């Protein structure tokens, strides 16, 4: 399955707290980026989201107690079984792909140098999709859809529906948002 085939709602819930988890469970989104939890709670959160019919992508960089290692990804793939992972680290993308997980490479576009380094990193690890931060840069979304053969997800600092429309018009597959008020837009 490709990530493009999973997207039903073009808003993706970025869940940053347990309170947000309960909102995401009842929302219109079908993809959830899980950015909260620890070794004791993450499996329970993933199970609840999957039981609600959500595709769960675990953000490795935000789960307390996880290390950046092949064995960590192996454990996640075998024990917790999310749909995939999100990370800023190319090596973790490679490990996750080896374990059969879908992968989303997150890159931060702070300046032109970060843009070029991000493009190089993405090309070297071949994720299933790329999440760019901040997501309010339609010009950059457009450029990356030309430069990279992977779906682009815009995220970060997106707070208005018009910004979502601008990112989608520029070529983004979807927009991730940590704002629960946006999770029920019908897109």
At residue 137, the pLDDT reads: 83
Number of H helices, E strands in the chain: 8, 8
Whether residue 139 contacts residue 116, with contact meaning beta carbons closer than 8 Å, is answered with no
CA dihedral for 109, 111, 115, 120, sign (positive or negative): negative
Helix (H, G, I), strand (E, B), or coil: what is residue 181? helix
Q: Can you give the pLDDT at residue 77?
A: 98
At 40 the pLDDT is 95
Question: Going from the N-terminus, what domains does the chain have, and what CATH number goes with each?
Answer: 3-182 (3.20.20.70)
* pLDDT at residue 98 in the model: 96
Please report which residue ranges of the chain form alpha helices under DSSP H: 3-6, 18-26, 42-51, 70-75, 90-98, 112-125, 138-147, 161-169
DSSP letter at 40 equals T
Residues of the chain with pLDDT under 50: none
Enclosing H/E stretch for 86:
strand 84-87
Residue pointed to by tokens 């199970």: 47
At 122 the pLDDT is: 96
User: Does the pTM exceed 0.95?
Assistant: no
The pLDDT value recorded for residue 84 is: 98
């Amino acid at each position: 399955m490709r990530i493009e085939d999973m997207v039903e709602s073009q808003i993706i819930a970025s869940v940053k707290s347990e309170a947000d988890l309960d909102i995401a469970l009842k929302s219109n989104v079908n993809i959830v980026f899980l950015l909260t939890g620890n070794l004791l709670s993450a499996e329970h959160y993933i199970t609840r989201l999957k039981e609600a019919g959500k595709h769960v992508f675990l953000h490795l960089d935000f789960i307390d107690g996880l290390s950046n290692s092949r064995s960590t990804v192996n454990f996640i793939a075998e024990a917790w079984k999310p749909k995939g992972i999100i990370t800023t680290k190319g090596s973790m993308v490679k490990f996750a792909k080896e374990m059969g997980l879908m992968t989303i490479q997150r890159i931060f576009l702070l300046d032109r140098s970060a843009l070029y380094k991000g493009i190089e990193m993405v090309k070297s690890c071949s994720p299933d999709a790329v999440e760019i931060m901040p997501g309010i840069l339609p010009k950059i979304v457009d450029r990356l859809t030309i430069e990279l053969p992977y779906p682009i997800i815009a995220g970060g600092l997106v707070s208005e529906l018009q910004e979502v429309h601008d990112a989608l018009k520029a070529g983004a597959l979807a927009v991730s948002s940590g704002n629960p008020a946006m999770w029920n837009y019908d897109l």
